[in-house]
Amino acid sequence: MITNGDGPRLLDVRTAGEFQTGHIPGAYNVPLDTLREHRMELGQHLDEDVVLVCRSGARATQAEEALAEAGLPNLRVLDGGMVAWESSGAPVNRGEQRWEMERQVRLIAGSVVLVSGVVGF
């Protein structure tokens, strides 16, 4: 985001954990569920252009629909989301790296299978 006020406001609608792992400099984290719940209040405070960001664009599109219902006219979705942003070599603020939920579930499921095989269940 351009910090002198000339650029759009960037709203990252991913989870707090995803945002912490890596986000566009200057972006604000407003997870999709929170955005939906408070869209009317957000609509009262966002009077400039808004670019919505998520991992690939799907959640950002849902956020765009919710904010449009609240009356915000100047909404855009970042094409391709963070995946495309990072692929283009654009700057990303990096935080603590975390595994995605699906990967965590696979690790736990694999561990259970391994332990079951060793113990003989």
- 62 domain-assigned: yes
Q: How far apart are CA 59 and CA 107, in angstroms?
A: 26
Is residue 59 a contact partner of residue 29, using CB atoms and an 8 Å limit? no
Band (47; pLDDT cuts 50, 70, 90): confident
- 1 domain-assigned: no
42 classed as catalytic: no
Q: How many domains does the chain have?
A: 1
CATH value at residue 38: 3.40.250.10
- 4 domain-assigned: no
Percent of the chain surpassing pLDDT 70? 83
What's the domain range around 95? 9-119
Residue 76: in which H helix or E strand, if any?
strand 75-77
Catalytic residue among 35, 54, 75, 77: 54
| 62-105 tens-digit pLDDT | 999 999 999 998 999 999 999 999 999 999 999 866 556 677 77
Band (60; pLDDT cuts 50, 70, 90): very high
| 4-23 tens-digit pLDDT | 456 899 999 999 989 999 99
- 55 domain-assigned: yes
